A and B are shown apart, each in its own frame.
Chain A
Amino acid sequence: MSRFIIRRALWGVVLLIVVTGLLFLMFRYLPTADPAKLRAGRLQSPKIIAAIRRDLGLDKSTFAQFWLYMKNVFGHFNLGYSYYSNAPVKELILDRLPATLSLVLGGAIVWLVTGVAVGIVSAIRARTRLDRASMGTALVLVSAPEYWLGLVALYLFSEDIGKVPIFPGAGSYVGLTTDPVKWFESLILPWLVVAAGTAAIYARLVRGNMIETMSEDYIRTARAKGLSERRVVLRHGLRAAINPVVTVIGLDIGVLLGSSVLVETVFQIPGIGRLNYVAITHADFPIVQGTVVLAALCIIVANILVDIGYAFLDPRVRYS
């Protein structure tokens, strides 16, 4: 088991290096605005632009830039400096991380609980009206874009512009340590929006798994033992049906940590997604690269955790 973890971790590092390298080349070779010109603003004399270029290290050869960047990232855990604000990218990201973590982890709890609950009820009431209604709703939520759901949520429920003003609206985010109550209130709508689509996918996944599991022989055995139906469903059924959910939840959290751009933008939550969005509009490569490397890291770590988690969830899985 520990050998498996070490091997997976080493592969993870290799993968991260490859991803980081590809990202660097992508930003250099795909068409984009010239960061030096953007930085120069209105004072765009060739001399100033050249000076900025030298300043940012953009005058060096691509290979030299690449080598420097990789050395900094993997040798010194230094993600470089923002072209725009000159601040270290790592600091900017760490600054924004709590907001994104709040959004994503809270959202994950919401989508896990609602998705699993709706999935179970739909499975044991399969093909009833309740099941059709929940699965229909799920389909709508899966199809609805997050930013649209976000705007609808604000339009309906936010304190400033909402028809039913019951929750704080956009831009109301405060840090957990500053004011826990306000932190919680301000995140209710974003959590619901970020969870909606995923909860719908989980509900459909759990429903399918549960229906399949409930026809297994060991469910018949559990009933033949004289267990209550509640115990048959929630212990024997759910325990077997939940494994695939654990697989996807790690990945979903990993993906969202690096890319909750839309929801953070709609609700003006100062998280990594929002940082990324602003950086893209300024062609601030180091920040964009830094956030994408972070996303890659989250996904790689999530993958390893999922594989390890599997060994604990399913005793038949043994890594060597």
Chain B
Amino acid sequence: MSTTEHSQAGASGGEDPLLLVEDLRVQFVTEDGIVHAVDGITYQVLPGRTLGIVGESGSGKTVSSLTTIGLTRRMGAHISGRILFEGRDLTQLSEERLRRIRGNEIAMIFQDPLSSLHPLFRVGSQLVEAVRAHRDVSKAAARERAIELLGLVGIPDPSRRVDDYPHEFSGGMRQRAMIAMALANEPKLLIADEPTTALDVTVQAQILALLERLQRELSMAIVIITHDLGVVAEMADDLAVMYAGRMVETASAEVVFSTPEHPYTWGLLKSIPMLGTSREEELVPIPGTPPSLIRRPSGCHFHPRCPYAKPRHAEVDPQLEPVPGRPHHHVACLLDSGVRRRLWGGLQGGRTPDEALADAGVTDAAGLAGTMPPTPSARQPGEAARAGEADLAGGPA
């Protein structure tokens, strides 16, 4: 990911990006060593569009978003690269100027709405505070606005519920209240960090539908961070897949779902049950666990978990490059694109990774097999599915 012009997620059309992140690196110095939480990512978000950032826990997706609104500064992060929001480089702004953007032009909602709302303040007073942090209005006017916002996000009887405490709300209502708070000042960009992970499945769909409706009504851009491709399948225009602090595949959502190029993306797609997949289709987990961000694997960071890795992949670090013939689709993978297509074809046909490998006629991949965790095909199907959940359900860092 050395140059920027060929590695932008969501590069489509000539419109000026609302948010342009260039070669962003975020490091934390700890007693155990330097944590490379974000390792040179580049992406852009166009006004009114939705970018989905997908990856497992610890892939750097949350840290990159917190860095965007300046909340990793006080955690002692070393930040380099540029974060251009409407042309202003947020990494260079003073804390006070950044504060005026936070919750005003860029808002953020988080995974667990119960712990993200202050337990000892009424929902209304937390909303009033959000309004008054950026608008010089009276308390009464801010309260009116709070009630209006609660109504906007679909909370019934908002003029009464405005005086409730968060613990008197259900999980879905709490996330709605969080969204209301984020929308208080009609931000141009909303960052939603795993907004549905802590919620019941039925409520998840409601929250996603709400976000989509609000996006249309307020014409704001959304960055939605998730480990669950099902969440972004409906919503996102563009997708960026993150692994070990880097982006390994970026393209429009449609392209990622129809012709994914990176083995990690295949793993994500095959390990998550989605509406529309037949019940007979077996879930295939990604073996192993995400790597340590202090001592990352050599070469391609994904090679220890990749069923298709060749010995050379432990030495060469892949760059995010355009897929031949598709200028807006980028992937960081050392496999030949022809091989990748045959492998994905095999996986789509219901083959296991080993079978797909044999079918694709790749013979020298066995060199790393000895160092790899047991492949899923060796397990019972049910166990494999559960292991897949466990791998992915850890929640974001």
Measured CB to CB, the residues of A under 8 A from B are 216-218, 220-229, 236, 239-240, 313-316
Q: Are A218 and B118 in contact, CB atoms less than 8 angstroms apart?
A: yes
Chain B residue numbers with a CB within 8 Å of A239 are: 118, 120-121
Chain A: minimal CB distance from B284 (Å): 33
Residue of A225, A239, A315 contacting most chain B CB atoms (<10 Å): A225
Given contacts A239-B121, A314-B120, A315-B165, contact A224 B115 (CB under 8 A): no
Q: Are A226 and B118 in contact, CB atoms less than 8 angstroms apart?
A: no
Q: Give which listed residue, B117, B120, B133, contacts A226 with CB less than 8 A.
A: B133
**Is there a chain A Cβ closer than 8 Å to B134's Cβ?**
yes
Report the separation of the CA atoms of residues A220 and B118 in the bound assembly, to the nearest whole angstrom: 10
Chain A residue numbers with a CB within 8 Å of B184 are: 225
Chain A: minimal CB distance from B347 (Å): 38
Number of interface residues of B (CB under 8 A): 29
Given contacts A217-B110, A217-B112, A315-B165, contact A224 B120 (CB under 8 A): no
Can you list 16 A-B contacts (CB < 8 A)?
Answer: A216-B115, A218-B116, A218-B117, A218-B118, A218-B119, A220-B116, A221-B178, A223-B71, A225-B184, A226-B104, A226-B133, A229-B95, A239-B121, A240-B118, A315-B167, A316-B119
The residue on A at minimum CB distance from B105 is: A226
Q: Are A227 and B129 in contact, CB atoms less than 8 angstroms apart?
A: yes
**Is there a chain A Cβ closer than 8 Å to B207's Cβ?**
no
Given contacts A216-B115, A217-B110, contact A224 B103 (CB under 8 A): yes
The residue on A at minimum CB distance from B119 is: A316
**Is there a chain A Cβ closer than 8 Å to B306's Cβ?**
no
Q: Are A316 and B165 in contact, CB atoms less than 8 angstroms apart?
A: yes
Q: Are B102 and A240 in contact, CB atoms less than 8 angstroms apart?
A: no
Report the separation of the CA atoms of residues A217 and B108 in the bound assembly, to the nearest whole angstrom: 12
Chain B: minimal CB distance from A202 (Å): 20
Report the separation of the CA atoms of residues A218 and B99 in the bound assembly, to the nearest whole angstrom: 17
The 8 A CB mask of B85-113 against A (1 = contact, 0 = none) is 00000000001000111111001101010
Q: Are B165 and A221 in contact, CB atoms less than 8 angstroms apart?
A: no
Listed from nearest, the 9 A-B pairs whose CB atoms lie closest are A226-B103, A226-B102, A225-B103, A217-B115, A218-B118, A315-B165, A217-B116, A224-B108, A221-B116
The residue on B at minimum CB distance from A222 is: B118
Report the separation of the CA atoms of residues A222 and B95 in the bound assembly, to the nearest whole angstrom: 15
Q: Are A218 and B102 in contact, CB atoms less than 8 angstroms apart?
A: no
Chain A: minimal CB distance from B82 (Å): 21
Q: Are A220 and B104 in contact, CB atoms less than 8 angstroms apart?
A: no
Chain A residue numbers with a CB within 8 Å of B112 are: 217
The residue on A at minimum CB distance from B164 is: A315
Report the separation of the CA atoms of residues A241 and B134 in the bound assembly, to the nearest whole angstrom: 26
Given contacts A226-B103, A226-B133, A316-B167, contact A221 B119 (CB under 8 A): no
Chain A residue numbers with a CB within 8 Å of B118 are: 218, 221-222, 236, 239-240
